[in-house]
Amino acid sequence: MNEGWKRWEGRTVDGIFPLQRFLGGSDHSAVFLTDRQSGGDKSESAAIKLIAAEADAEKRLARWRSARELNHPNLIRVFAAGSAELDGVGLLYVVEEYAEENLAQILPERALTAEEVGMTLPPVLKALQYVHGRGLVHGRIQPSNILAIGDQVKLSSDSLSAPGELKRAPGAYDPPEAATGADSAAGDVWRLGMTLFEVLTQRLPDWDRVRAPEISREVPEPFREIAGHCLQVDAGKRWTVAEIAARLGTGESAVVAKTSAVAVAAVSRPEKQEREKLDQPKQFAKWPYVLLLAVVVVVVLFLMTRAKLPSGSNGAPAEVSQSSATQPLAPSSQPESAAGGGVMPSASNDGVAQRVVPEVSASARRTIQGTIKVRVKVEVDAAGNVANAKIESAGASRYFSRVALEAARRWKFSPAAGEVGAREWKLQFAFSRTRTDVSAVRVKR
C-alpha cells in the first residue's frame, strides 16, 4: 500500500484525530502527524500509526491500551488506541508522542562513535529495565525504535507484549528462538546486541542462525564485550539488562563516563578533577537521573544536527550542490550579526529590505565547533519577495542548513526597477556558538 496511504492526508480518524501530514509507511502500516487534546482547549502534536485490521486486532488493541498505563521518561507515551474505517478499509490506530528523529536516520551517513553510544545506551537500558520489570517484552529493539524527543532519548512502546506471546515471522534483529514464535526478555537482549553492533559498524553481524555471530574488533570495548554476551545462541547465557548497565559503569567504560561528564559540563576542568572522576566509577554505575538527563541533551543535539533537509516550496526535495562550496561569498556590505533569530530591517541601501536571522536554540549552538557556513541561492520576483530558494553549499550540518533555508525564504529585497525576469542573490549564514552572521550578494548576470 505504502504511497497509497498518503491519499488520506486531511482526513480524520475516529472523528478525533486529523491526518495532517504523511510521515512514512510500508505496505502494512503508516504514520501521520496529528493533534491531540492535552487538557482544556490546548492541543499538541502527536503521531498516529495506522495498520490494516487483522485477525488479532483485539489482542493488539489490548496491548496498546495497556501501554497507556506506562509512564517512564525514556519510553514513548501512548495516548490513545482504537479502530476506525476510511474508504471502507478497516484500520487500527495508536496515538503516541511525536519524535522527529531516530537512530536509523543517522546510520546511512556514518556510524556512531564509542562516546556517542556510551551516552545513548543508558536511557535505552533504563526504559528496557522498566518494561521488563512490569513483566513485558519490547520485541522490536532496533535503531528505528530508538528516538529523540526534546532533550530525551526514548524507546518506542507500541510493540510491547507479554512474554511467550506468538510473534510475527523472525526479522533481521530477532534471536534464534524467534523461529518458535515465542518472545522473552532474553530476546530483547539479543536485539540490543544486534543494534549495538549495527550503530557502531553501520551493518548487522553475519550469522547463520546456528552459531553465535562473531563480534569483530572494529567494535570498541566495552561494547564488544557487551555485544558478545548479548549475542549468545543459548538464551540462558545472555546477560541481563542490569548486567549490561553494570558493565557500563566499571572497568574500561570509565573512559566513556569521563567523556560524558565533560560533555555535560561543557567547560574545562583541571586535570586533577578529571582524575578524581575516574577514581570514582561507581557514581556512574548508579546512573543518577539528573546526570542522565544532562547526558541525553548531548546525544539529542547530535541527532538534531543530523535532521533532514526540508522540502522545497513545491514539495520536492531541496537541491544541494557542492560545486561552489569553495567559492568565497563576498557580502555587499559588512555581515550583520545576531545572537538570536528574528527579522532585521535593512538600514543600508544595498538592495536588501529585510534580513531574517535563523532561530537557533542555545542548546543547538553548543554543538558547534568553530563556524558552520551555509550558502543559499534565492530567486527574487519583481516585488522583492523570494520566489525560490535552494541550498548551494550545505556545510557540515543538515540541521543548520534547514534553518538557514527556512530563513532565506522570508528575506525581502527592493522592488525591481525596470528589470525583467527574476533576480538572483546568494545569502550566507555563518553559525558560531555565540552568534549568527548573515550577508548577501547580488549574482551578476
- Domain ranges for the chain, please list them: 2-96, 101-304, 336-442
Q: Which of 95-109, 266-280, 361-375, 392-406 has the highest mean pLDDT?
A: 95-109
Of 276, 274, 129, 117, the C-alpha closest to 199 is: 117
With bands split at pLDDT 50, 70 and 90, how would you rate the model's confidence at 314?
A: very low
CATH topology of domain 2-96: Phosphorylase Kinase; domain 1 (3.30.200)
Helices (H), 159-265: 185-201, 223-230, 241-248, 254-265
Instruction: Check residue 307 and give its pLDDT.
Output: 44
Which has more confidence, 110 or 341? Answer: 110
Distance CA(284)–CA(272), nearest Å, equals: 18
Mean pLDDT value across residues 434-444 = 88
| Axis-axis angle for helices 185-201, 223-230 (nearest 10) | 140
For the stretch 402-415, pLDDT in tens is 889 999 999 999 99
Strands 101-102 and 89-96: unpaired
User: What is the value of pTM for the model shown?
Assistant: 0.58
For the stretch 102-147, pLDDT in tens is 999 888 888 999 988 998 999 999 999 999 999 999 999 999 999 9
Q: Give me the count of residues in the chain.
A: 445
Locate cell 564485550: which residue? 225
Instruction: Check residue 341 and give its pLDDT.
Output: 62
Q: Which amino acid is located at 258 in the chain?
A: K
Q: How far is CA 322 from CA 262, 279, 396, 443, in A?
A: 34, 47, 11, 18
CATH superfamily of 101-304: Transferase(Phosphotransferase) domain 1 (1.10.510.10)
For the stretch 234-247, pLDDT in tens is 999 999 999 999 99
Distance CA(125)–CA(121), nearest Å, equals: 6
Evaluate whether 417 touches 426 at the Cβ level (below 8 Å): no
CATH 1.10.1200 is right for the domain spanning 336-442: no
